[in-house]
Structure 1
Amino acid sequence: MTDPLVLLGITGLFCLLNLLALGSLLRRDESVRYFLAANLMLAVAILGFCLRPWAPAWLSIVLANALNLAGHAMLVLGCQCYFARPLRVWRLLLPAVMALLIMASFYYLRDDYPMRVLASSLYCAYASLCIALTIGRYWPRERPRYSYAFTAGLAWLCTGLHLWRGGSHIWLLSGEHAAAEANLASMVFVTIGSLLMPAVSVGLIMMVHDRIAARLEGIASRDYLTGTLSRRAWMQAFEASLQLGSQPLSVAVLDIDHFKRINDRHGHAAGDAVLRQFAGLAGTLLRHEDALGRLGGEEFVILFERTEPATAHRIVQRLRAQVGDSVCLHGEQAIRCTFSAGIATHQPGERAEQLLARADAALYRAKQAGRDQVIRDEAAWAG
């Protein structure tokens, strides 16, 4: 049968490999430093366990177990940091100190290996349970669930395994001739545990990579200046709505009036401030289901899904009044602006570019009529 020291050595090697992977992510997410510290502590703890036949007890039992408990606590803190939850340090520190005192007393006061295993296993089970519950409660539902389900599932498995390990040692060693069975149980635990703990760290690394991917997707889908949907992201949402049949569906194309004049008179920085303020006002006034995007320059577009044409028109009119009444403060300059808008409602069999063309034509009529007004396409009201 494989030597437990070899399995522990393999686990330590996996922890070191995870350290290398986490090191490349250190500046990508604040939680990584906790995961990095956890793997470092676990690797050193495993080294202490491997030195047990030769090293003094304070090193191979007390210090090694202290690092093992601290490593598990760091994994929990890393999960709490990842999901921006309050760091419950005392809820982890007090049980860890109690477990360590129990283990030390059952060596120095009375040598009782099963009780040391029980104390260590209960704390590790507690930490694994905290990880599983934190991920299960707070994982972002809009993201792919694989990395979160993978890590939480392994944490649940670790919880059960630690409880089984602690209970099995107490139960098996309660008999007179159960040492062999206890050693077998310990071997099974070491074998499975040597794979599970590095796998949990791999799952946490996968979660960090998912967050990085979400940030990159957000950068790609958002306009860098206004924070609204980019042209490409808005068009994708628009075409998806048409395919899903989210009717009635209306589109409003908006254009800041005399924007070139604002740039020429107040400067391009002031023009950028006007665009940002407009996007902020629109984001506050529009409903959660309305999609605001920037087509380019001073031109914006709003997608109204499952919205009656009269409702879409009323929302844009309210936004027009809000923008007209507001003042954009840029340095010592107070800038007022208005916008013109054209609204079109989807007709059966109409393609995306045809609907946008009708909304754009309505916008042109609004500008021709004197600006600072909302014109609806006549086709939307033919019925």
Structure 2
Amino acid sequence: MLDPRSIVFILAALSLLMAIVLSAMPSAVRDRQQGARHWSASMLCVALAAVLYGLRGMVPESLSMVVANASAMGATALIYYGGRAFFEQRRHGRQLIIALLLANLGLIYCFYVQDLYAIRVVIFSSVSGVLLFLFGLDVLRHRPRDTGRAQFPYLFTAITVIFDALVSLARIINAVLNPSGGSDFLAPTPLNALYFSTHGLLAICISVGFILMLNERLHAMLEHQLSHDPLTNAYSRPMIFELAQRELSTLRQPLSLLLLDIDHFKQVNDNLGHQGGDEVLKHFVRTLTAKLRSNEPLGRYGGEEFIILLRDVDAESARITAERLRQCVAEAPYRHSQSDYPITTSIGHATAYAQESLEQLLQRADTALYRAKREGRNRVEQA
């Protein structure tokens, strides 16, 4: 059985390795992934604390105890703070600093003024356990719930940190029940070996959880960039075509397609400039998205033209929906320089026939859209 000192040095090496892995991410990625820098710093703090703990008896106690404890508690604070940053929540930085200062002052008092080992264990384990538990709750509460997003990285991290918090609780209970226990936590006893082995393994699992969550977030961001129009955040043309093709290939319920065009968009660019035109496009998409259900994807067809897929919607229901959307756009002018700039849209819609191709469906919707524009715009026509 490895003695606790050897386990501590192994923990230091593994924590340093994890810190290097986290810091090896490109700076542009770390800047966009809030929390990565804090988690990398937390692993450095764990490595520093482990080295100083392992050198107890070889270096001054001000280093092996005071600095080591401060570094270890700082690591849990960085884990919690990084989690708040990662999920874009309030950071509580001032409260964290005050809590760490008070805890370290308490540890110093219980070491230099009175030798109260059990109280030191309670203070240290309480601060670390609470911060890890709160981080685990944040991960569970704020993990992505979107369809298709991986849940394992978040559940793995949350379960690991909460289990680590329970280990801290067990250590508190042991200190309370056995306050006169030996203060040499590096003594080669089964209890010490079990504690450091469990805590060391969990520390590595937590850092693995960081990497898994960061990779999942990066994958989701990349997938979103590939499937969405960068300007309007509507689905990109290839993606909306793919969704439509998928629906047509397994057509069992009615499928209707709306083709929308912003009326007189050239005048919008002439009056507001191209940047203003871009803002109108974004405003147009936001207005439509607010009125669409989650199963009614909106995609950018090109320029100022957009496509909406209506699943399980027949021709008459599609006409009603198109008319409702047309009215919503007309009643939501774009706010520009303290004045309202009116926006209207023409809509052509078509409901798919059995065995109809996407090209044929688009052609019919485009014909209906052309008729709506020819008949005066700001109207709905059916193919």
TM-score of the superposed pair, with normalisation by structure 2: 0.83
Looking at structure 1, the residues matched to 174 and 255 of structure 2 have their Cα atoms a distance apart, in angstroms, of 63
**Does 1:137 find its partner at 2:130?**
no
Residues 15 and 264 (structure 1), Cα distance of their counterparts in 2 relative to 1, 3 Å cut: same
In the alignment, the residues of structure 1 paired with residue 262 and residue 135 of structure 2 have an alpha-carbon distance, to the nearest angstrom, of 50
Deviation of the 1:79 alpha carbon:
0.9
Q: 1:363 aligns to what?
A: 369
Check 1:286–1:63 CA distance in 2 against 1; reply closer, same or farther (3 A cut): same
Question: Match of 1:17?
Answer: 17
Which residue number in structure 2 is paired with residue 62 of structure 1? 66
Alignment counterpart, residue 302 of structure 1, candidates 304, 308, 327: 308
**Corresponding residue for 2:191?**
185
What SS is found at the alignment partner of 2:258?
strand
Distance 1:107 1:300, change over 3 A: same
For 2:163 and 2:229, the matched residues in 1 are separated by 43
Match of 2:123 among 119, 138, 141: 119
CA contact (8 A) 1:76 1:127 kept: yes
Q: How many residues align?
A: 375
Counterpart pick for 1:228 among 225, 234, 237: 234
- The answer on whether the counterparts of 1:12 and 1:46 sit within 8 Å (CA) in structure 2 is yes
Letter matched to residue 24 of structure 1: A
Contact 2:103 2:123 in 1 (8 A): yes
- The 5 A counterparts of 1:8-157 are 8-25=8-25, 26-89=30-93, 92-93=96-97, 95-142=99-146, 143-157=149-163
- TM superposition shift of 1:255: 2.6
**Cα distance change on mapping 1:9 and 1:244 into 2, 3 Å:** farther
The answer on whether the counterparts of 1:172 and 1:181 sit within 8 Å (CA) in structure 2 is no
> For residues 37 and 296 of structure 1, do their structure 2 counterparts lie closer, same or farther at Cα, with a shift above 3 Å needed?
same
SS in 2 for 1:312: helix
**Alignment match of 1:165 (pick from 171, 174, 185):** 171
Instruction: Note the C-alpha offset of 1:324.
Output: 5.0
Of 289-298 and 272-281, deviating more is 272-281
Q: Judge conservation of contact 2:330–2:344 (CA < 8 Å) in 1.
A: yes
Q: Which runs of 5+ in 1 are unaligned?
A: 378-383
The separation in 2 between residues aligned to 1:318 and 1:211, in whole angstroms, is: 36
Alpha-carbon distance in 1 for matches of 2:186, 2:341: 84
The aligned residue for residue 350 of structure 2 is: 344
Aligned-partner residue type, residue 319 of structure 1: L
Structure 2: how far apart are the matches of 1:175 and 1:221?
Answer: 60
- Tell me which moved more, 181-190 or 264-273: 264-273
Question: What's the % identity of the aligned pairs?
Answer: 33
Q: How does 1:316-331 map to 2 (within 5 A)?
A: 316-323=322-329
> What root-mean-square deviation, in Å, do the aligned CA atoms of Structure 1 and Structure 2 show?
3.4
What letter corresponds to residue 314 of structure 1 in structure 2? I
Deviations 1:158-215 (A, max 9, x none): 1122222333355456589xx9999311111112222211220221122122222222
Q: Equivalents in 2 of 1:115, 1:328: separation in Å?
A: 63
CA 1:286 to 1:69, structure 2 compared with 1: closer, same or farther past 3 Å? same
Is the contact made by 2:287 and 2:332 (CA closer than 8 Å) also made in structure 1?
A: no
| CA shift in 2, pair 1:276/1:95, >3 Å | closer
212-221 or 59-68, which moves further after superposition?
Answer: 212-221
Distance 1:325 1:129 in 2: 49
Q: Which runs of 5+ in 2 are unaligned?
A: none
Question: Among residues 281, 286, 289, which one is paired with 1:275 in the alignment?
Answer: 281
SS in structure 1 opposite 2:259?
A: strand
Q: Does the 8 Å contact 1:253/1:301 carry over to 2?
A: yes
Distance 1:296 1:182, change over 3 A: same
Q: Distance in 2 between matches of 1:108 and 1:332?
A: 66
One-letter amino acid of the counterpart of residue 49, structure 2: A
